[in-house]
């Protein structure tokens, strides 16, 4: 088989394989789903790439501090109102907690997973 023919076969295979994939897929980002998946091994600071939306749910209805990094030792960059729908781009496990990297009103930062509900 010539290089030209081999190239055509490889390109055709790539097109066929890529067309079998969904155009877009948004995985579930629920903490329970991540923990239940035994194939995921978490270590300190592990980044789990996920995306979707979620709602901010505080116990007392107050605003939630969005931080510049995944922990309370990072500076506050914004206060997100309880009930706000946010975009989630990643989840990080740090110590005992999961921290969600979110974007709200063009501000990006981290909130603790305890205050995330209704992820999609």
Over residues 26-82, the pLDDT tens digits come to: 333 444 444 443 333 344 555 555 579 999 999 999 999 999 999 999 999 999 999
Q: Is the pLDDT of residue 10 over 60?
A: no
Question: Going from the N-terminus, what domains does the chain have, and what CATH number goes with each?
Answer: 26-117 (2.30.30.40)
Q: Is 113 exposed, middle or buried (0-12, 13-18, 19+ CB in 10 A)?
A: buried
Lowest-confidence region among 13-17, 67-71, 100-104 = 13-17
91 Rama sector, left if φ>0, alpha if ψ -120 to 50, beta otherwise: beta
Say what the pLDDT of residue 43 is.
42
Could you tell me the two tokens for 75? 């500076």
Over residues 59-71, the pLDDT tens digits come to: 999 999 999 999 9
CB 93 within 8 A of CB 1: no
CB 120 within 8 A of CB 53: yes
Q: Please, what is the average pLDDT of the chain?
A: 74
Say what the pLDDT of residue 30 is.
47
Could you tell me the two tokens for 117? 């509900």
Q: How far is residue 49's CA from residue 82's CA, in Å, rounded to a whole number?
A: 24
The residue with greater pLDDT, 43 or 9, is 9
Q: Is 86 exposed, middle or buried (0-12, 13-18, 19+ CB in 10 A)?
A: buried
């Amino acid at each position: 088989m010539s290089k030209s023919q081999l190239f055509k076969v490889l390109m055709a295979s790539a097109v066929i394989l890529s067309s079998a994939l969904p155009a877009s897929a948004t995985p579930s980002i629920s903490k329970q789903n991540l923990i239940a998946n035994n194939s995921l091994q978490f270590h300190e600071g592990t980044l789990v790439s996920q995306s979707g939306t979620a709602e901010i749910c505080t116990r007392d209805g107050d605003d939630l501090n969005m931080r510049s990094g995944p922990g309370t030792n990072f500076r506050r960059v914004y206060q997100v109102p309880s009930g706000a729908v946010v975009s989630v781009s990643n989840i990080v496990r740090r110590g005992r907690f999961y921290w969600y990297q979110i974007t709200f009103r063009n501000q990006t930062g981290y909130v603790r997973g305890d205050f995330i509900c209704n992820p999609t």
